[in-house]
Structure 1
């Protein structure tokens, strides 16, 4: 059944409106990407410094107090000993970072698929693992499949602040201290450039030799054998530094994931706009051909009528 000229024209108008929307969304996502990249560059310097300090402390044997009773002056803060203590792993936790909305291409599906594959590689099943979800897409996915979601956080800002993430870290570390899980992995999409990102999984807790030096691509191996003389005591020192290190891991992951999300959104909206433009061009060609055919038919009818009169 042939489509009428009016139907084609309506499709052209509708596609043009869609094209305007996707173009506007692409511009918004690009603006957010530019904004968050400015924060990311400055934060990476801080994160590398914190990791370097903790790595130095580890090499100088100050981290061996994990069996002691290190404490912190802030009663709401988890102790350094809790962050360092290695215990038998009965349940593993996965902090999965996704977006709260769609229109981001394959961003969310890639994170979830790669996280599930990583769980299988670790030999974990739904019975001995738990999900901590940052982002509504991941939380809804695992809930709908009967996976235990022990914690979820929705509504992460387009450019997350450190104070915003600090509340997430406090909750997660408290759950670890209460032995609701025995180890924690952070799973998210790492921003490579505006066109690509790749999945990254980082062990966050407990903090040990297997964690240090694996969380940053730019961290050089620390060559240090001498011990530190510290003032105040090593317990107080680690009580201040290790929570900052845990915060830096989570904040850096969320900042990185948000950057990848904005890039994916911008790329997806650009693809949608390009497809809409191609469809408009195709429909306009179809419309012009239909008009030409109608005009040719009318001319033929007029010519035939004149010939009949003669």
Structure 2
């Protein structure tokens, strides 16, 4: 009986230690989510401005630019998957990888080859464990992304998009990331990045007319300058959304784990008290039986 008490006490102590760790990680995620949401909001003015500029160029001119023209045949597609570097975030990475797998199946059913580009250690581990090929990966700072990474990703994708199919190039580019809607809801999302689909997510396109521009130099040169920056801004916006979603998912997961640890401590405490009471009862029974035996003799 004493051994059972020691087991329960060890479980109580270890569960309390884990509960403190979960609580600390919950507080860290809670403190960082505000900054992540602020970065998402701060990125909107620039993203909206460049979206309007690209929309104006694309809608007011009739040119044959490779970034805005649909190819006659799409034979190979690039898929950029944004996961997390660390775990303990619930089903965050699992959900986005599952969404990417559904996209892969859809593209393959349409007769397209798929090239994977990965952001985050979890996506890389998923591909390596299954011995599946991927073109390139970017690791580090998934919960606090930097623009230099978005610029590098954009340059890599644009280079492959500009490369011919026969030279291992791609005909279209998709991004799979988690859109931050609230602290409770984070939604895995797929967007097609190229060929360009100009979408202003914050403004209703029919609510106001786009301004009329006069372009100097030529329109093609304006697009050559604007579109790479537009792609970088879209990628960085997706990374910021994913970072806020990761922190929100981690905060929720750690709160649930902390609550479960408290419940386990209460459960083990009750079992320990029951075992202790049983031990005391047994000792009293043995004392009474011994006294009765002495009196009888």
TM-score w.r.t. the length of structure 1 is: 0.86
Using the alignment, how far apart are the partners of 2:21 and 2:155 within structure 1? 39
Q: 1:298: how far off?
A: 1.4
Return 5+ residue gaps in structure 1 as ranges: 67-80
Q: 1:169: how far off?
A: 1.0
Q: Give the equivalent residue in structure 2 for 1:84.
A: 68
Using the alignment, how far apart are the partners of 2:224 and 2:112 within structure 1? 33
Using the alignment, how far apart are the partners of 1:86 and 1:98 within structure 2? 29
Contact map agreement 1:60 1:224 (CA 8 A) in 2: no
Q: Give the equivalent residue in structure 1 for 2:129.
A: 144
Using the alignment, how far apart are the partners of 2:282 and 2:189 within structure 1? 63
Q: Give the equivalent residue in structure 1 for 2:33.
A: 33
1:161-207 CA deviation, whole Å, 9 max, x = no partner? 22232112111111211231110000011112112211110110121
Using the alignment, how far apart are the partners of 1:89 and 1:2 within structure 2? 71
Contact map agreement 2:36 2:244 (CA 8 A) in 1: yes
TM-score w.r.t. the length of structure 2 is: 0.89
2:198 pairs with one of 212, 228, 233: 212
2:63 pairs with one of 45, 55, 65: 65
Return 5+ residue gaps in structure 2 as ranges: none
SS at match of 2:176: strand
Using the alignment, how far apart are the partners of 1:54 and 1:232 within structure 2? 15
Residues 1-310 of structure 1 aligned to structure 2 (within 5 Å): 4-61=4-61, 64-66=62-64, 81-87=65-71, 88-124=73-109, 128-179=113-164, 180-207=169-196, 211-213=197-199, 216-222=200-206, 224=209, 228-310=213-295
Q: 1:2: how far off?
A: 10
Using the alignment, how far apart are the partners of 1:305 and 1:206 within structure 2? 91
Contact map agreement 1:97 1:188 (CA 8 A) in 2: yes
SS at match of 1:190: strand
Q: 1:245: how far off?
A: 0.8
Aligned length: 289
Contact map agreement 2:108 2:114 (CA 8 A) in 1: no
